[in-house]
Each structure stands twice: as C-alpha cells, then as structure tokens.
Structure 1
C-alpha cells in the first residue's frame, strides 16, 4: 500500500475551523492496527506531548447520489456547527480554552475530522470531537449562515484546481468523476434533511477509521467506542470505470491551465507505486530557486517562454490517473499541450530521471512523519483504501524495491490507454483532445 500522497488526490479541499496552533513532534515508531466494532483503529505512540486524532469516513464526493451532488462539500463545511449537545459557540470557546485545534477536510473518497490537543487536555477535547461527529443536527438557520463561507471557498478556487476537477469528470463521469466542490447553483439548496440522510448512510462504523498519533492503542479504541454512529449504510460503493474524454471551462485571462492524464492504477498495487515514481521523474519545475528546469518534461515542451509543468499520479481504491498539469501563456498553448500529449503517449525516461524520481518520492513520503496531522490522515487513507497500513519507513523501503524496468513497464502500459483532459483559463489556442 502506498502513502496517502499516492492513494488520494494531490489536490484536496480543506474546510478548517482553527482555534489554536500546535507544534508537531513525530518520530518513526511502530504502528498498531486493529478493529473495534467494525472500525479500523490505528495508533502511533511516539511520546509526543501533542496528540493528533483523525476520524475518517468513506464519505467523499464519489459516494454522493446524483441528485445531491456537492453534499459532501457542505457536510465537511458544516463540521463544528451546533450539535445536539453543544452550540457552535460553546464548541469553539471550549476548544480555544484548552488550546486544541479541530479541522475537517475531504477528497473524492474520504472525509477527515482531525483534532490536535496536548496530553493534559486530551480527554476534554475528545469529548467535543465525538460530539461533533456523532451528534450533528444541521440546523437550517446555521446552514443558511454558512452559505457565504461556501461561496467564498468556491470563489477562491484556482484555475489549476478547476482543471483537475474537470479532468476527473471527463475521465470517470460519475463516482470519482463527481466534483469535490458544490456547484454555485446548489450552494443554498442542500438542506438539513438531505445532509442528515447522507451523514447517516456514510458515517458508519464499517466505513470508519480512527487514527491516534501520540498515544496508545487503548486510547484509539476508546475513541472508536465513544462514537455513536448509525449501523445502517445505504451509500453506493460501485466502482468507477475509466472512460476518457475532455471538458473545458473558458475563464479568460492570459494563461491556459491544462490537466492531461491517462488511466492509472488502484492504490496498493505495485503499478501505482511505479507510476508515482514516474510522475516524479517527469519533473515538477526547478529544484533550486531561480534554477533551470532540466527535467524530461521541460525538455519535451522546449523553449516557448515561461511555463509550469508537473507530473502527477493519483490512486484511488479502484482506479487512478497518471499525467501532467500544465500552465502556459495562451499563445503558446497549442504547441505546449501537443508536446505534452505526445510525451504521455510516447514517454522517454532516462535512468538518471528515474533514480531522481525515486529519491524525490521517498523524501515526500518520509516528510509525512514530520507533521502529525498529515500522518494521521495518511494512515486513515491506507486503512480505508486497502485495509492495510504501512509506516513511512516501510513505504520508503517499498519504493527502493521498485526496479527501473517496473517503472518503464508501468508507463508503457499506461500509454496504451485513452487520454483525458480538463482545461480552464483562456482556451483560445488550447487544442481539443482529438487534435493532440
């Protein structure tokens, strides 16, 4: 199983309600993994004075009914509002008094509720965490007051994020193709009853993982037992098929933002790890400030003026995407996009680039241990995506075991599949996918 960086989208939407700041202190230690009441329970007791607790659910946008698209975005944005036991003011005030931090975030597969608190105030903080998750009421007047926040989040989306979102919709249509953002036209239409039904059907023990970093397995089990969750789930778990296609959003401006991808591999597979190495080998810009980009991807695009290009690989529980994100001046879009498309269909990766890609991926994976909340979410994603958990060190060792031939074979297999494309910005000179 690969890390969260490899098994979930590299672009995530974060809805945060912060009340304090906590400094991470993480060491590489053994990870305990078990099950309590159908809930996956993982703990990392590293002796940190700060404990991080993440409760994750398979409740991302891919599980939304087609009649309620965007409801997962509204659900994570509503985290921290009044519950059946405390008002939103009381929750924020109490957490602020003990110096705790709470945030909710999500992607296409999972929603994460993450708490950070010092050891001496952990019991009080956990009481409010379980309250936030188990006793949500979604009061209509509070949902109305939350609409401006949702509108702000949508207005703040960058064109690159929009391009990646369109790419998923073009590649998978439904399921993984569902946007992780609510449509502006639906912001104020998702009501309390719809949210309550979606929460009841997806926030269940069998779809849940509890991760505690900074405390023992007993504490993680206590958190899992304290959650009062519905035991009946009506959420659809259908697999998402890859189709390929193209979606465009004209936004004007001087730049074109294009995401081109091929079908990737499911999380946990050897091919997924090989494609992640290949994505790093493609390149992601200069490695030093004001330096020159000598990556294979940059050499393919050539000297066309300023541009930004990066390879990426995202793996989900049943499928994935492998490709390139490109931002280029609109006048150079035709040349650059065609060059990237040709590169994806006929990639050329020298040995030096693959070795560099392995080193960069290992650095990314090991860096997860430096931030407790990221490590929490990474372990939760592994547990819910593949049912197994590996530490960052184990993942780094797995990367070392991937041979150069494995990378080349994975890239060659991906190149035989159909292209998908999502584009946003000034698209006057962006070629259509059948012209690439």
Structure 2
C-alpha cells in the first residue's frame, strides 16, 4: 500500500505550480503596457500656456519657459538674461534663497536654469509625488522676484565666474561672433553679459525687465512625466502678471559682416553662415536634410567620417592632419542661419575652408545622388527620434513649441514630414541659401585663414 507521506509531495508540487501560475497571471495583468499618451497643450484664461507629456517616467520634469532671452535685451540692459539665469535662487517675496534651496532638497528635487537666445527656462526635477512642491517653488522663483540690492552685490561673482569659465572656449566665441555678424542685434546678442556690465544691473533694472516679460501670456508651465489635469490645476494657482509681454523686435538676417579674433595658438576656428529658415517650416526640415548631407558630425566613433560627409571629403583634400568640419542649421522662431564650421591647424585653414565651400557649391549645381539624399534623410530622422529619448531635450522641445506655436509636433510627426521632402525641394533650397549674403567669424591663429571675399 502506498504511504500517505509518498503522496504529499505530488500534491504539494501541483499546489506550488498552481500558485505560480496564479502569480504569473497576476504579474501579466500588472505589467500590461500603459497606454501611450500624446502631448497636450492648453491655455488658461489668464493667458498662461500649459503643456504636458505623460510618459510614466518615475521622475517628473516640470518647468517654466519665458520669452525673455538675450534677443529681448537692449544696449542699456545688455547681459540681463545672464543675471536672471544666475540669480534664480535668490530671495523672493515668499521665500529666502535658503528656504528655496532647503525646500527643494527636502523632496529630493533639483533646480536648473538655462538660457537660449530666445528663452529663459527654469526646470525642476522631482519624484512624481512632489510635483506640487516643484510647481510651488517655480511660481515663487518666476513671479515673486525681489532682487535685493545686497544679494545682487554679494552674488555678482557668479557672473564673473561664468565669464572666466568660457574665456578660452574658442568654439563658443566663434559661434557667438557668427550670430552677431548674421543678425547684429536681437539673435546676435550673447547669452553672457559683457564684462563692463557686471555689477551694473540694478534692482530697478531687473524688476522692470521682469515686469515687461514675465507675464502670463508670455510664459508656459510645462511638464514631462506628469498628468495634464494635475498640472493644469497647479497652473491655476500661478501668480503670473497679466499681459502678453513686451512686443518682440523682429530678427533680420543682415549678413555681410566679418568678425576676426586674432589670439594666436596652433589652431584656427572659423564659421561661415548664410540665411537659413525659421523653425516650424518645411524649409527648415529641408535644410536639416542638407545639413546631414554636408556633414552634421561623425556617426562612428574614431571614424574618418569621409564616407558620409561632403565637407570632410572637401577638407580632407587639403590636409593629412586632424581637423573638424561640420555643418550647422540654426532655426529660431522667426529667422535662421545655415553654415559651416571648421577647426584645423592654422597653416591648413585656407585649404580646409576653400575645400568645404567648394563641396557646398557643388551640391547647389545638382551634385546630389539619390543614395546620398536617402542617407541624409535617414540620418536626420534618426537624429530627431534619438533626441526624443533624451528627457531634457524632449522637455525643452515641448516647452518651446508650446510657447511659440501653441501646439506640439511629436518626433514621429516630424519624421513623416521629413519623408515628404524630395531631393528637388532640397536642391532648390540649397541654391537659395548658398547664393545668400554670407557672414563669417574666426578665432585663433588667423595668419592663413582666408577672408570672406576670398571664399565666396
């Protein structure tokens, strides 16, 4: 006769397998993919724009974007955007600087401020259950500034430190200069204050600028990894001033200028730009394809990049030494700049730049193979989609589109628009921009760096 003890393990095994099956079924139900959410953009009665994208991230990014970048400055308050960026954590009407710092630390949140040529962006990263705290401090920072005189005096060293850290960054200097040569004012203004203005931004000057630009109609509250209805409720508590903000001066590409900074060394850096297109337009996307066709940067680590980049092919004929050759496409809300950027040994810069410009000119004559065009189109689409995986890039893109356009085109939407662009569209635009009025900026050892008229 079979003993009972010999039967128990059999039933125990069945029981365990049954419980395991139940657990697996439960886990399957619990790990069903969450429904994909589209970005939502709405506007409150006050004029404040609210934009969000729920991507179920465990960390929420919330922020305020304001149309108050360097392009809105005047010669009297030059560098004030730099001040606002550096002084974001100073005392306000509702909290001291210490209280702001401690309050954010208590919920393990971080605060960052950044400046583009058109916008001031205040960003808080926090856990999802601390979004209300993050929005509270964003409201305090952007709508309750006081700029107390003694705090400005004690913290002006921040501006000096910033200038010291970028002093020897020649690529930044060249791109700043090419903006100045292209646009003169508006988009030509730097994100950094000139040395002579440090300490000269008074409390009254800062408050006047904030009152003009930090208004509900000129701001957007943006969140990634947050529910739109929740963010909208929090936005209704914002204390933003009423109004649409100061009238924005239109940016005009003037070109024709050349800025050279002879500072010696072994290398030369140069940028040549022509008029581009404003963001949000089909032409700006066509220029994106052209940028990748000319060479937007290396795609293979330690690779030569000569197989894909026409600029590198042209520059490589002039030197066997290391160099960098790339194309940039800068699209702003109402204007743009398109051009080439090069870094090379000083004695090689003449041949490098002329080789790059020769390749650019060849493209305008129809030297575009279907293979090159499709490769560039695929690279551009890949860049758009890959950038969307970066949460910071996704956040800024959502913020700027929502504020400027009142809507949002997803990376997938942009990829479809890129697919609709033909080689003929790109060729026509290439001819148009290449024949535009150029401008140039150069820095370093410029003994062998050609002048603009020698290039064009």
Question: TM-score scaled to structure 2, two decimals?
Answer: 0.86
| 2:192 is aligned with 1:192 | no
Residue equivalent to 1:16: none
Residue equivalent to 1:20: none
Gaps of 5+ in 1: 1-25
Residue equivalent to 1:312: 328
- Which one of 153, 157, 163 corresponds to residue 154 of structure 1? 163
Q: In 1, Cα distance between the equivalents of 2:117 and 2:246?
A: 14
Q: 1:349 to 1:192 in 2, by over 3 A?
A: farther
Q: In 2, Cα distance between the equivalents of 1:297 and 1:124?
A: 49
| 2:133 is aligned with 1:117 | no
Q: 1:247 to 1:324 in 2, by over 3 A?
A: same
> Displacement of 1:418 after TM fit?
1.0
Q: 3-state DSSP class of the match of 1:389?
A: coil
| 2:231 is aligned with 1:220 | yes
Residue equivalent to 2:413: 394
- Which one of 402, 407, 429 corresponds to residue 410 of structure 1? 429
- Which one of 33, 36, 42 corresponds to residue 41 of structure 2? 33
Q: Deviations over 1:119-141 (max 9, x none)?
A: 12222222112111111111222
Q: Is contact 1:49-1:214 (8 Å) kept?
A: yes
Q: 3-state DSSP class of the match of 2:303?
A: coil
Q: 3-state DSSP class of the match of 1:247?
A: strand
| 2:97 is aligned with 1:88 | yes
> Displacement of 1:232 after TM fit?
4.3
Q: Deviations over 1:282-309 (max 9, x none)?
A: 1144322222221111111124121111
Residue equivalent to 2:185: 174
Q: 3-state DSSP class of the match of 2:76?
A: helix
Q: 1:199 to 1:246 in 2, by over 3 A?
A: same
Q: Is contact 1:282-1:353 (8 Å) kept?
A: no
Q: In 2, Cα distance between the equivalents of 1:219 and 1:292?
A: 50
Q: Is contact 2:63-2:138 (8 Å) kept?
A: no
Q: Is contact 2:401-2:407 (8 Å) kept?
A: yes
Q: 1:416 to 1:398 in 2, by over 3 A?
A: same
Q: In 1, Cα distance between the equivalents of 2:214 and 2:114?
A: 14
| 2:221 is aligned with 1:202 | no
Q: In 1, Cα distance between the equivalents of 2:241 and 2:133?
A: 24
Q: 3-state DSSP class of the match of 1:67?
A: coil
Q: 3-state DSSP class of the match of 2:343?
A: strand
| 2:339 is aligned with 1:339 | no
Q: In 2, Cα distance between the equivalents of 1:212 and 1:403?
A: 35
> Displacement of 1:234 after TM fit?
6.0
Question: TM-score scaled to structure 1, two decimals?
Answer: 0.89
Residue equivalent to 1:74: 83
Residue equivalent to 2:389: 370
Q: In 2, Cα distance between the equivalents of 1:118 and 1:27?
A: 21
Residue equivalent to 1:229: 240
Q: In 2, Cα distance between the equivalents of 1:234 and 1:209?
A: 13
> Displacement of 1:345 after TM fit?
4.2
Q: Deviations over 1:139-191 (max 9, x none)?
A: 22222232222222222222111101100111111111112211122122112
- Which one of 140, 148, 169 corresponds to residue 131 of structure 1? 140
> Displacement of 1:58 after TM fit?
0.7
Q: 3-state DSSP class of the match of 1:153?
A: helix
Q: In 1, Cα distance between the equivalents of 2:368 and 2:175?
A: 24
Q: In 2, Cα distance between the equivalents of 1:286 and 1:211?
A: 33
* More contact order relative to length (CA 8 Å, sep ≥ 6): 1
What is the Cα-based RMSD across aligned positions, in Å?
1.9
Q: In 2, Cα distance between the equivalents of 1:141 and 1:151?
A: 17
Q: Is contact 2:62-2:131 (8 Å) kept?
A: no
- Which one of 47, 54, 57 corresponds to residue 63 of structure 2? 54
**Paired residue total:** 411
Q: Is contact 1:59-1:110 (8 Å) kept?
A: yes
Residue equivalent to 2:289: 277
Please say which of residues 48-57 and 266-275 is displaced more in the overlay: 48-57
Q: In 1, Cα distance between the equivalents of 2:407 and 2:297?
A: 33
Q: Is contact 2:326-2:342 (8 Å) kept?
A: yes
Q: Is contact 2:181-2:259 (8 Å) kept?
A: yes
Q: In 2, Cα distance between the equivalents of 1:387 and 1:417?
A: 31
| 2:343 is aligned with 1:327 | yes
Residue equivalent to 2:153: 144
Residue equivalent to 1:247: 259
Q: Is contact 1:275-1:313 (8 Å) kept?
A: yes
